[in-house]
Amino acid sequence: MRVFVAGGAGVLGRRLVPQLVARGHEVTATTTSTSKLGLLEQLGAEVVVMDGLDARSVAEAVAQARPEAIVHQMTAISGKPDIKHFDRWFATTNRLRTEGTDHLLAAAQATGVTSSRRATPRGTASARRMGEDRTGPAGPDEHGQGGRGDPPP
């Protein structure tokens, strides 16, 4: 199976990529840094530099990879946590979990991927089939916030 791992150079992605390769999957892994290209190649993946917050970058990367499945591992967690300003320290990761997820889903839909999987940094996973709406208890609140960590269908 052709698997696209968005965030393949991250803490979880670096562990997931070699496991997928060992099971015979063709893996395309993304990174935001050209300095991590060699690492992902050593793990057995095709590598794409992608900005998960840029819809065009995501669309091009997914179209080029032609995956059958997409795994979302994108975060911006690095360095020492700033507990005093946690909201600022975690802001980009929150955007990747929302906007990045939307970009991946749009790209998946445009290229014919019928399901995607999103894993949180804790390693729990949720799946959403393409085209499902996010209303209901797991959907956005009255301000349009949330709803991105939908439970499995």
Domains of the chain plus CATH, in order, are 2-129 (3.40.50.720)
DSSP 3-state percent helix, strand, coil across the chain (nearest 5) = 40, 20, 45
Asked whether the predicted pLDDT for residue 5 surpasses 70, the reply is yes
* Token pair listed for 148: 């991105």
pTM for the model:
0.74
What pLDDT is stored for residue 91 in this prediction? 83
What type of residue sits at position 139?
G
What's the rounded mean pLDDT across residues 28-46? 95
Q: How far from 44 is each of 22, 48, 75, 96, CA to CA, in Å?
A: 9, 13, 21, 25
114 against 73, higher pLDDT: 73
Residue that has been written with the tokens 């393409």 in this structure: 130
User: Taking a C-beta distance cutoff of 8 angstroms, is the pair 63, 56 a contact?
Assistant: no
